[in-house]
Copies of this chain bind each other. A is one copy, B any other.
Amino acid sequence: MSSSPSSSSRSRDGAGTDAKASSATGRPTIRDVSRLAGVSRMTVSRVISTPDLVLPATREKVQRAIDSLGYVPDRAAGSLSSRKTGFIALMLPTLTNANFAAVAHGITEVLRERDYHLLVAYTDYDTAEEERQMRALLARRPEAIVITGALHRRSANRMLLAADIPVIEVANLPSQPIEHAIGFSNYEVGRTAARYLIAKGFTRIGALAATPGETVTDHRGEERVRGFEEELAASGLSKDYVLRHGQAPVSFSHGSDAMAALLAAHGDVEAVFAVSDMSAVGAVMECQRRGVAVPEQVSIMGFGDFEIGREINPPLTTIHVDFRALGQRTGHLLLDILATGAQERAPQRIDVGLSLVERASVKGTKSS
């Protein structure tokens, strides 16, 4: 493997000057490539990032060296020097939720093309984890950060501001966004559901949500019930049928349990809005088991338009938000911001809206 000295002593440094031993890790470095190709490290760097600035002959020579060594540039070293890490931070309550997973998926799809990498952190709805996760995320020097819903700790918020990177809030649309926001109003979701059920002529209208906990809270879900309750109140209807039951995250079994509890307490309930389709599906199943006909005896609707809702019998009426598209839009805004050069971009506030999907689980729908 010793390179035979060339006949003339060349002034280019390539194989000669940069004669340091190869790295201890065994993984080839840019230096190994430069030596093998007989060019400087800078030329190797150019072949990788700006190949057009390199003569085709040189480029091929370098490329062969790269291939034969199986060289993969170390991005950490590159970042340190270029001050661009290629990381985008994403902070979620959980990944074990199809909608949040869809957001992450949508963002990734878009960022992938530009070689950005998503750094995902999740709090499991635990506000105490926020600060830890935020610190860990910021230590990787993301070029921007995407968060879902508001932060709930001042400390986490302070860190976020101090980081001085673009912030995008997704899947929730605060009236006063930190900077950019793409999403919809959870509060409006609740109001929309209530208005819909009221318009259908129901008067004993309930809801199924999680109990807000000390540390573990589904803030978005809670906002939905809040909107729901206020609309009920605005129409002079009772909130007695609104049930907060169990802990976040809500799931199918949450819906079954909560529905059972609601039927036990208020057997005369006519219509129910569950803050998530997961709960709504559980509620429908519970009704089936109890011989309570849906929608003849009880109408049920949910939120999220999860695939399962389309499949059950009767199909679930729900409120739809396209989370994957939300992720994709977020990805595009991100690329836009990062290309435009950081803070030049005026804060965006994009409401992707909601749509009510009428299916057969609510009485009085054409399809039911």
Chain B residues, Cβ within 8 Å of A163: 27, 72
A72 touches B115 (CB 8 A): no
Chain B residues, Cβ within 8 Å of A136: 115, 117
A158 touches B70 (CB 8 A): yes
> Of A30-38, A264-272, A295-303, A308-316, which stretch is located at the interface?
A308-316
Shortest distance from the beta carbon of A159 to any chain B beta carbon, whole Å = 7
A305-346 residues with Cβ-Cβ distance < 8 A to B are 307-308, 310-313
Given known A-B contacts A27-B163, A96-B105, A164-B26, A139 and B311 have beta carbons under 8 A apart: no
Chain B residues, Cβ within 8 Å of A311: 252-253, 255-256, 281-282, 285
For the complex, would chain A's binding face be called helix, strand, loop or mixed by DSSP majority?
Answer: helix
Closest to A315 in B: B285
A72 touches B289 (CB 8 A): no
- Mask for A116-128, Cβ within 8 A of B = 1, else 0? 0111101000000
What is the bound-complex CA distance between A138 and B119, given in angstroms?
15
A104 contacts B by Cβ under 8 Å: yes
What is the bound-complex CA distance between A115 and B95, given in angstroms?
19
Shortest distance from the beta carbon of A357 to any chain B beta carbon, whole Å = 15
What is the bound-complex CA distance between A171 and B343, given in angstroms?
43
Closest to A135 in B: B72
- With beta carbons under 8 angstroms apart, the residue of B85, B102, B288, B308 that contacts A313 is B288
A75 touches B139 (CB 8 A): yes
B138 touches A308 (CB 8 A): no
What is the bound-complex CA distance between A108 and B73, given in angstroms?
26
Given known A-B contacts A135-B72, A252-B311, A80 and B83 have beta carbons under 8 A apart: no
Shortest distance from the beta carbon of A127 to any chain B beta carbon, whole Å = 16
- Mask for A89-104, Cβ within 8 A of B = 1, else 0? 0000011101001101
- Mask for A133-147, Cβ within 8 A of B = 1, else 0? 001101111000000
B253 touches A74 (CB 8 A): no
What is the bound-complex CA distance between A94 and B117, given in angstroms?
16
- Mask for A180-210, Cβ within 8 A of B = 1, else 0? 0000000000000000000000000000000
A253 touches B310 (CB 8 A): yes
Chain B residues, Cβ within 8 Å of A288: 313
Closest to A70 in B: B162
Shortest distance from the beta carbon of A368 to any chain B beta carbon, whole Å = 14
A55 contacts B by Cβ under 8 Å: no
Shortest distance from the beta carbon of A82 to any chain B beta carbon, whole Å = 11
Chain B residues, Cβ within 8 Å of A104: 95
A25 contacts B by Cβ under 8 Å: yes
A119 touches B119 (CB 8 A): yes
Shortest distance from the beta carbon of A26 to any chain B beta carbon, whole Å = 6
Given known A-B contacts A119-B119, A162-B70, A252 and B308 have beta carbons under 8 A apart: yes
Most buried by B among A76, A94, A139, A281: A76
What is the bound-complex CA distance between A96 and B77, given in angstroms?
32
Chain B residues, Cβ within 8 Å of A77: 80
Closest to A74 in B: B141
17 contacts between A and B (CB under 8 A): A70-B159, A72-B159, A74-B139, A75-B140, A75-B141, A76-B141, A80-B80, A95-B104, A96-B98, A96-B105, A101-B101, A117-B119, A118-B120, A251-B307, A252-B310, A256-B311, A281-B308
Please name 10 further chain A to chain B contacts, defined as beta carbons within 8 Å, in addition to the given A27-B164, A252-B311, sorted by A numbering.
A25-B83, A72-B138, A95-B101, A96-B101, A98-B98, A105-B122, A117-B119, A117-B136, A252-B307, A288-B313
